[in-house]
Amino acid sequence: MDTIDELLTNNRTFAEPLADRHLDVEPSRQLAIVTCMDSRLDVFAALGLGDGEAHVLRNAGGVVSDDVIRSLAISQRRLGTREVMLIHHTDCGMEKITDEGFRVELEEATGIAPEFPIESFKSVDESVRESLDRVRRSPFIPHRDAVRGFVYDVDTHRLREVEADD
């Protein structure tokens, strides 16, 4: 059985004892979280969040890309969120590549130069500050007074706040 078939079985087991319910599409905590796709960070468990409470946007590195700005604009302008929590983490895969190296790798493998930025980084704190800055500078995001950035330690499970540049 491949992994997805196994997960489909897991879903039937998960859903079976649960009563039907309908939660509002607007997150009850009025919060959006931007974080990395890293498999070691269970966002809901680590923050004590439940279903229906927050938007969680994930990509490689948890960087504030154009698509994250798009999602935050929808999150705040249509779905009622007001706070933004950015969470990068220790031992990130994006620290282990370089923009130029990965760009060349993609181009050599495919003959096509990618149009998207790679967004690797050397310093996780610097990357959090860059992401904070992108959110705070975006005119598409109306609520920018409650944006905070953190580094999650994948070994200790603890969050550390990163102060923004002023």
Token pair for 22: 């309908």
SS3 22: coil
CB nearer to Zn ion: give 32 or 36: 36
If one asks whether residue 68 binds Zn ion (CB under 5 A), the answer comes out as no
Burial level of 29, CB count in 10 A (0-12/13-18/19+)?
middle
What is the size of the binding site for Zn ion (CB under 5 A)? Answer: 3
Least Cα distance to 131 among 82, 32, 63 occurs for 63
**Is residue 36 a contact residue for Zn ion (CB under 5 A)?**
yes
Backbone angles phi, psi at 160, to 5 degrees: -125, 130
Q: Please identify which residue in 30, 31, 35, 38 interacts with Zn ion, judged by CB under 5 A.
A: 38
- If one asks whether residue 92 binds Zn ion (CB under 5 A), the answer comes out as yes
As measured in angstroms, the least distance from the Cβ of 78 to Zn ion is 28
* Binding residues for Zn ion restricted to 101-140, rule: CB under 5 A: none
Q: Which is nearer to Zn ion, 85 or 92 (CB)?
A: 92
User: Which part of the chain contacts Zn ion (CB under 5 A), choosing from 22-30, 37-45, 134-142, 149-157?
Assistant: 37-45
Residue 84 in the binding site for Zn ion (CB under 5 A): no
Paired residues of 86 in beta bridges: 34, 149
Q: Does 86 bind Zn ion (CB under 5 A)?
A: no
- Those residues whose C-beta lies under 8 Å from the C-beta of residue 161, and which sit 6 or more positions away, are 148, 149, 150
Q: Which amino acid is at 4?
A: I
**Residue 151 binding Zn ion, by CB under 5 A:** no
**Closest separation in Å from C-beta 129 to Zn ion:** 16
Say if CB 34 and CB 85 are below 8 A apart: yes
Residues at the interface with Zn ion (CB under 5 A):
36, 38, 92
